[in-house]
Structure 1
Amino acid sequence: MKVSNKHSKIIAGATKVFAKKGFFNARISDIAREAKVADGTIYLYFNNKFDILISVFEEEIGNLIKQVNKLLAAEDDPRKMLEIFARKHLTVMKKNKNLAEVIQIELRQSAKLVKDYRNNRFSEYINIISFIIELGQEQNIYRISINPCIAKRAFFGALDEISRIWTVGTTTGFTVEEITQQILEIFLCGILEPEASFSYTIN
């Protein structure tokens, strides 16, 4: 087994264990068992359980940032850019329910642990939203009175909450496209300049 493969297996195993048991209840042995490596192997790559949690955010969210930025690079309309962000986030959360669970629950439960961790990928990720809003304000599409720092959390909060339908086992017939449409219509009605009307339609 290659070194990089072991590292990836530990990250994947930890994400699953954290989602199932919670960060505080999870043990290194649980993660090792899920990753199919020896307990001691974990410490070749990580100092402790918290280090693993941070690495989950760094690597999984880092991959998501790359995917989102690649999609955004081909679009210059801030309204469509918010759509791209929402659609991609919901698609990934639906596909990777364990990651969604870790983001939704562990990020909150472990807030005291991560509050001193400044250079994290999660902050970089949601800052993409504020960048899009600022871009829209420069183009007189989004209202200048909107605070991008507040708006980014409101927008991500909506995506985060709606993702719970997949992590808590709620059954729904709604597709990612339909949910994206609803969130965009609700959110854009609140931040658009009156003359910058926008009708969202699924392509």
Structure 2
Amino acid sequence: MKAANKHSKIIHAATKVFAKKGFFNARISDIAKEAKVADGTIYLYFNNKFDILISVFEEEIGALIEQVKKLLAAEDDPRKMLEIFAQKHLTVMKKNKNLAEVIQIELRQSAKLIKDYRNNKFSEYVNIISSIIKLGQEQNIYRSSIRPGIAKRAFFGALDEISRIWTVGVTTEYTVEETTQQVLEIFLCGILEPEAALR
């Protein structure tokens, strides 16, 4: 097996193990077993368990960033751009429930470990939202009184909480498309300039 493939296999296995057992309860041996490699093989690619967790965020979120940016590059309406971000995020979280679980739980439980790790993809990912808000403000579509840094957390928080619909195994008739539109309807009513709402 090529090194790149083995590295990727370990990342996917770790995502599954972290989602199932949690970062603190997961062992390197659990990840090795899931990846079908020897325990020692893990250390050829990663220094420790925390290194693996950071790599999960870096690689999985990194791939998502590239996909989102590619979709946004073809759009210049900030309202449509928020819709694109929301729909892509929810689609990926519904498809990759293990990643959704890791984002929802480990990002919070492991916050003390991650707080000193500044150059992370997760921050870059959420900052896409604030950049869209700023663009909308420049175009007089979003209210200038809205703080992009707060808005990005409110918007992502809504998406993150809603994606739990699929990760907790609750049977629901909500589609990604309907869920996206509901979030946008609620959110945009709060940040649109009155004039823009009439356009």
TM-score, structure 2 normalization: 0.99
- The 2-side partners of 1:138 and 1:198 are apart by 18
- The 2-side partners of 1:193 and 1:156 are apart by 21
Matches within 5 A, 1:30-45: 30-45=30-45
- The 2-side partners of 1:3 and 1:128 are apart by 32
Q: Which runs of 5+ in 2 are unaligned?
A: none
**Mapped pair 1:129 → 2:118:** no
Q: 1:100 corresponds to which residue?
A: 100
- The 1-side partners of 2:130 and 2:88 are apart by 16
Percent identity between matched residues is 87
Matches within 5 A, 1:112-123: 112-123=112-123
Alignment root-mean-square deviation, CA: 0.8
CA, structure 1 residues 21+183, in 2 after alignment: closer, same or farther (shift >3 Å)?
same
**Deviation >3 Å, runs of 4+:** none
Q: 1:164 corresponds to which residue?
A: 164
Measure how far apart 1:49 and its partner are: 0.1
Measure how far apart 1:171 and its partner are: 1.1
**Aligned residue pair count:** 199
Note the alpha carbon deviations across 1:6-60, whole angstroms, 9 max, x for none: 0000000000000000000000000000001110000000000000000000000
Equivalent position SS for 2:194? coil
Equivalent position SS for 2:174? coil
TM-score, structure 1 normalization: 0.97
Q: 2:187 corresponds to which residue?
A: 187
CA, structure 1 residues 198+127, in 2 after alignment: closer, same or farther (shift >3 Å)?
farther
Equivalent position SS for 2:196? coil
- The 2-side partners of 1:99 and 1:198 are apart by 39
Note the alpha carbon deviations across 1:78-103, whole angstroms, 9 max, x for none: 00000000000000000000000000
Q: 1:196 corresponds to which residue?
A: 196
Matches within 5 A, 1:1-203: 1-197=1-197
- The 2-side partners of 1:198 and 1:105 are apart by 39
Measure how far apart 1:197 and its partner are: 1.4
Measure how far apart 1:74 and its partner are: 0.1
Measure how far apart 1:117 and its partner are: 0.3
- The 2-side partners of 1:115 and 1:34 are apart by 28
- The 2-side partners of 1:77 and 1:18 are apart by 37
Output the amino acid matched with 1:34. Answer: E
CA, structure 1 residues 139+35, in 2 after alignment: closer, same or farther (shift >3 Å)?
same
